[in-house]
Each structure stands twice: as structure tokens, then as C-alpha cells.
Amino acid sequence: MTETCEIIDEGDRLVVVNRNPARRNALTPGFQTGLAEALRRAADLPRLGAVIVTGEGGFFCAGGDLSFLMRAQEMTEPERRAAIMDLAGLIRAVHDCPSPVIAAVEGGAAGAGLSLALACDMIVAAEDAKFSAAYVSAGLVPDAGLTAALTAALPPQLAAEMCLTGAPVAAARLHALGVVNRLVPPGTVLDVAREAASRLAQGPAEAQAAIKTLLTGARRATLEAQFEAEAGAMARALGAPEAAEGIAAFLGKRPADFAARRRGE
């Protein structure tokens, strides 16, 4: 457990809660450390049906850590790349966990929060939840394996729309496409995820772990390649003038003026 991550052992499941509601549960180093610890712990607990990941205060996760964005342009490109690969390591740990991992999404998931949700084996989402790639709004590019996850899960045109515009997509649309497993009334997501974990706990743990290995292995080469490609692209983007404008706009809570750069102003 860390300041922004609580791990709750409920017998046949671990519930990992991102406790950073003031920032809509952005991915702090403390949460990343806590989730990684929970995933390691799950490997030694065959009684678990699943690890459930959720956020406090009615929102799953808004993406990357604001403090990282604030200092990113002063970092060297290798330093930025190393930080991006740390996040990729967390996504890899979700895939490597032998227990199923369930994302319990209230409110929505954006940026790296969307990467985390899509890395999970199952998604339970509230009917009013929205999912957004978001990066482009800050002059940035996806990371944490998002391009691999989106192109595997969605028609290519929808994946392109999400990444190129940053526009949110309703949970109902993703449910219709099979990306969201259960679409439930707001406020009931965690209870439904708990029920799913309890059902999984009645099954054969070793067979389930083997199935998960096969499913993740089928797309692992693409994921690893995209981790590397995204890290390079994001490390460069974070140091570029577009990101300077996008991040300043984000911090200043104003629209970014990318059109001025296109006009040469």
C-alpha cells in the first residue's frame, strides 16, 4: 500500500484502488508501485479469482502524472524515454499476472488510464463512462502500449479517430464492439466486478493462468514492438514545441492553439 494506492484482500480477490481523486486518479509513481506489488502478490495466491483495478471518487484514471508533464521538457530525451518505459513495464506486469485482471471503470478512462483499462483481461464499465485516448489534445502521442491495444480491439478507423482527435467514446459503443464485457448502472461497477472475480475463483486456477498466457502471448510481439516505438515517439513529442503549447494549455485550463503553429505564427 502507498499514499495513492490501497490494496484490499477480500479473500477470493484483490481490489486495488487508485486513491488520487483530486487529479481524477492520475497514475502517480505511488500507484504504479502499489499495483505492481498487488500483481506480484497475486502470483502467489491461487485462491484469487482476479485482481480488480478501480479508482476512488467515481473516475477510473485520467492518465499520466501531472508532475511528470510539468518537468518533462526540462528532462533529456533518454530520461523521458526511461519514464515512459517504466509505465510500459506496469502494463507488461498486468499481462504477466497469472490471475485475471478486471478493470472496474466508473466515470471514464483517459490517456494512460485507457492503456491500463485495455491491458486488463476484462472491463466492467458504467453506462455513462467515456473512454478517451486524449494525448493529441496536449500535442503528445500514445504510450503504454495503447496503439497496440486499440488496433487489436477496434476497427482501424475508430482507433485512428480516437488517437487523432482525442474525442471520447461512450462505454456503450465499446460494449457493442465487445471491448467492454459488462455495461452496468453507475455506482454498481465494483460490485459487478467482485461478482465476476468470485465466479472466476470457482474455476481451475492453473488452467486459467495457462489460458491467459496463451491469449497475451498471441499479441505479445506486437505489444513489445509498440512499447519501443511509442517510447521513442513520446520522448521526442514531449520535448517539441507542440507539446509545450499543449501542456501549457492543459495546465492553464484553456484550449491549445495548434493552428497558430500550422500558420507559422
Give the C-alpha separation, 135 to 47, whole Å: 38
**pLDDT digits 0-9 by tens, 1-14:** 678 999 999 999 99
Predicted pLDDT of residue 152:
94
Picking from 198, 182, 206, the residue whose alpha carbon sits closest to that of residue 124 is 182
Please report, for residues 123, 166, 184, 255, 264, the alpha-carbon distance to residue 259 in angstroms, rounded to integers and kept in the order given. Answer: 37, 16, 40, 11, 9
pLDDT digits (tens, 9 = 90+) for 21-74: 999 999 999 999 999 999 999 999 999 999 999 999 999 999 988 777 778 888
Task: Parse the chain into domains and list their residue ranges.
Answer: 5-186
| pLDDT given at position 162 | 97
Query: Could you read off the pLDDT of 134-175 as tens digits, one per residue?
Result: 999 999 999 999 999 999 999 999 999 999 999 999 999 999
Residue range 77-136, pLDDT digits in tens: 999 899 899 999 999 999 999 999 999 999 999 999 999 999 999 999 999 999 999 999
* % helix, strand, coil for the chain, step of 5: 55, 15, 30
CATH 3.90.226.10 fits domain 5-186: yes
CA–CA separation, 117 and 190 (whole Å): 14
Least confident piece of the model among 200-204, 206-210, 245-249: 245-249
pTM of the model as a whole: 0.92
